[in-house]
A and B are shown apart, each in its own frame.
Chain A
Amino acid sequence: MSTMTDPPKADFRLSMLINDTRYRSLTFQVIAAIVIALSIWYLGNNLIQNLRAAGLNISYSFLGDSSGYDINQRLIEYDSQSSHGRAAVVGILNTLLVAFLACITATVFGVIAGVLRLSNNWLVSKLMAVYVEIFRNIPVLIWIIIIFTIMTAVLPAPRAFRGDAATSSMLFDAFAFTNRGVYIPRPEFANGLFGATILNWLLVIVVLIGSWFASHEIEKRATLKQEETGERPKTFLVKLAVWLVPFALLMLIMGLTWDIPALKGFNFSGGIKVGGPLIALWFALSIYTGAFIAENVRAGIQAINKGQTEAAAALGLRPGRIMNLVVLPQALRVIIPPLISQYLNITKNSSLAIAVGYADITATLGGITLNQTGRAIECVLLLMLFYLTASLLISMAMNIYNASVKLKER
């Protein structure tokens, strides 16, 4: 039996905050926190006092006032009588639209270029190296302007389509490529099942999702069958039918027609207009960020042990299948974390939109509204809040995806 006594408790002395390693780090952190808080308070107070001295107060009431200006690309109803707040929402939607489109295409460009850069074909790999080096080493603003300038200079103006001796004509009589944008036919439903167009489109999406689930189910059953019998039933035709038949039936019932753009007055009207600024911004962001993603993809692939490729080749898999089935799924774990920051970059770089007159949030709220109301600080704070929220949401979504593909240790 042994008796244990507690070691004598040392009295706490103030000098221990500095000398005792147990407390020292805490002390310094508290001091740093106080200094930072004081600095922020000082800067904020300075701002508010100077604003007050200049007779300006922080106020967001301008968001409810009528904006007085028009916006060329709007995803929701908007006119010059709408409020500044609504103009900001139009801008937010435009930012999200171009960011979403550019993220998708940049990923496609990046994956293709990254994989091809590792190709054994000398010409292909060198071409991709040139693409990556040229595009990521020139600022994206320059690319946006170059692409936009080329578009406006090379593509014909709408008036070139006019008259009997027109110098330009529409592709398939349905698509018009002009220097103001690309006009494409718009699908319309002559006798939709619902009054509102959006509900009809929702129905189409529901049907497509249903088809996706059905084809997924068919695939799963085929796999089960294969595991039982060793023979995989042919599913291609059934799957095709599952996709096409319900869709075609729905289109037939709802009476699908196409609204084809036609030259009317100064511009084409009808159809969907994909504006020149949107195309230029979208394409520039895609190829620029695509070059970075290509490097991420290359790094990810090269991080996979060569033994994996060789083992797969020994099993008789062809190069394409090795890439798709063996290498890329493993490489994804390395690729996704840097991919998140590329997506954030796209979203933030989309604020360069005003260079080509694209009405994103920086152009509406941070540009015209700021200018017309003079509420610079309020607008910039709102802009910061928006970009911060958007970036954090993208980051969160991608982290959830990352968690689902990363190596699970059990």
Chain B
Amino acid sequence: MKKSVILGAATIAGLAAGAAAAGTIDDVKARGKLNCGVTTGLVGFAAPDANGEWQGFDVSLCRAVAAAVLGDANAVEFVPTTGKTRFTALASGEIDMLARNTTWTFSRDVDLKFEFTGVNYYDGQGFMVPKALGVSSAKELDGATVCIQTGTTTELNLADFFRSNNISYEPVPIETNAEAQQQYLAGSCDVYTTDASGLAATRATFEAPDEHVLLPEIISKEPLGPLVRHGDHEWGDVVRWTLNALVSAEELGVTSANIDELSGGTDNPEINRLLGTEGTLGEMLGLDADWAAKAIKAGGNYGEVFAKNIGEETPIGLARGLNAQWTEGGLLYSPPFR
């Protein structure tokens, strides 16, 4: 018995050592499926719909990458991760990429050995309180009980914010967004704090969203983006440029409606290079020539994905704000496809 356990452990250790060596892009192609880490459920960003299909802003990115690499937007295995388990899941190779509104920070990038491949949502940490509390600024929250998702940057920002304003609070650490919502609605915490987009998404699922307000203070910069393991640059490039392709497509006016027509060839060389009718960009990435076209067809360009999942027409109702194209006063700025 003892011996068999040890042999089993040795086998697993040997397999793990072997798996780390091969390139992720080859693994994904061989497997025929992309393992993509997402949240355990945040409506608008990543949550299963009534049919059990994962839907959302982060989910669309996973599907775009799957379409670019495998040619099939549905060849994705979604792995729900919590704030605590996400990095272990990525580092251990359980998932190929993490698209889970994760903040790009120095220590995660450098110390934890991950590679952020861009920013798909520029966010900031906000506070939500019940209207009945009569609070109009986060600085009035002295002595409040605050629900936070544990293992996130928001936990550290919160401590910094209250300390620098010299006011006190009591943290209630929570594992998932769903639990936080339950605690907040039961009144066991006065305030719920997380990224402003997450607050809007959570509020949209309340029975009476009007009874809750988001306070005006945004206390941090939270550039959210997809990330991959450090050191596998080919795979990092694929994820980075798939995101860039979605952003560029919006800038160049390529949408899921006109992409078939544009794929026939246009007068704009940049569109041609993007869609693979000119140049060899796909080959350089180790993908088909029309990889970007497939990624865009999966769910539309960045603007379409945004509008469909979290935009002003949806219950979540987020304005583009910082996430508009640079040409429209936002921060979205894709490097050129050349």
Contacts and interface: CB of A to CB of B under 8 A. Distances in A.
B157 to A, nearest CB: 9
Interface string A156-173: 111100000000000000
B88 interface: yes
Given A70-B171, A276-B188, A372-B151, A53 B20 contact: yes
A152 B183 contact: yes
B10 interface: yes
Contacts of A156: 187
A265 interface: yes
A50 B188 contact: no
Contacts of A56: 113
A371 interface: yes
Q: How large is the interface on B (under 10, 10 to 19, 20 to 34, 35 or more residues)?
A: 35 or more
B150 A363 contact: yes
A149 B185 CA distance: 12
Contact of A374 (B17, B111, B132, B142): B111
A46 B145 contact: no
Interface string B74-89: 0000000001100110
Which among B87, B155, B187 has the highest number of chain A CB atoms within 10 Å?
B187
Interface string B149-178: 011000110111011000001111111000
A43 B159 contact: no
A54 B174 CA distance: 31
B187 to A, nearest CB: 3
B190 interface: yes
A189 interface: no
B17 A152 contact: no
B286 interface: no
Contacts of A359: 173
Contacts of B322: none
Given A55-B113, A68-B160, A267-B144, A357 B187 contact: no
A25 interface: no
Interface in A26-78: 32, 35-36, 39, 42-43, 46-47, 49-50, 53-56, 68-72
Given A80-B160, A269-B143, A72 B111 contact: no
Given A56-B113, A368-B173, A374-B112, A69 B10 contact: no
A269 B168 CA distance: 12
Contacts of A157: 186-188
A9 to B, nearest CB: 36
Contact of B113 (A39, A54, A265, A354): A54
B156 A372 contact: yes
Contact of A72 (B3, B6, B172): B172
B186 A179 contact: yes
B107 interface: yes
A68 B148 CA distance: 14
A367 interface: yes
Contacts of B257: none
A122 interface: no
Contact of A159 (B141, B162, B187): B187
A180 interface: yes
A12 interface: no
A179 B144 contact: no
B13 interface: yes
Interface in B1-42: 2-3, 6-7, 9-10, 13-14, 16-17, 20
Nearest to A357: B173
Nearest to B112: A374
A368 B155 contact: yes
Nearest to B111: A374
Nearest to B143: A265
B190 A266 contact: yes
A70 B183 contact: no
A363 B173 contact: yes
Given A68-B159, A70-B169, A368-B173, A36 B20 contact: no
A357 B186 contact: no
A69 B153 CA distance: 10
A50 B155 contact: no
Contacts of B83: 371
Given A80-B160, A265-B143, A367 B9 contact: no
A265 B170 contact: no
Contacts of B145: 180, 266-267
A47 B156 CA distance: 31
Contacts of A35: 3, 6
A22 to B, nearest CB: 25
Contact of A46 (B13, B88, B132, B188): B13
Contact of A69 (B9, B156, B170): B156
Contacts of B87: 371, 374
A363 B190 CA distance: 22
Contacts of B163: 79-81
A264 B112 CA distance: 42
B150 A267 contact: no
Given A69-B171, A354-B150, A357-B150, 5 more contacts: A53-B20, A70-B159, A70-B162, A80-B163, A363-B173
Interface of B: 2-3, 6-7, 9-10, 13-14, 16-17, 20, 83-84, 87-88, 91, 107-108, 111-113, 132-133, 141-145, 150-151, 155-156, 158-160, 162-163, 169-175, 182-183, 186-190, 230-231
24 contacts: A32-B3, A39-B9, A49-B17, A50-B16, A50-B17, A55-B230, A68-B159, A68-B160, A69-B155, A70-B159, A70-B162, A70-B169, A79-B163, A80-B159, A152-B183, A157-B187, A158-B187, A159-B133, A266-B144, A266-B145, A266-B190, A269-B143, A359-B173, A363-B173
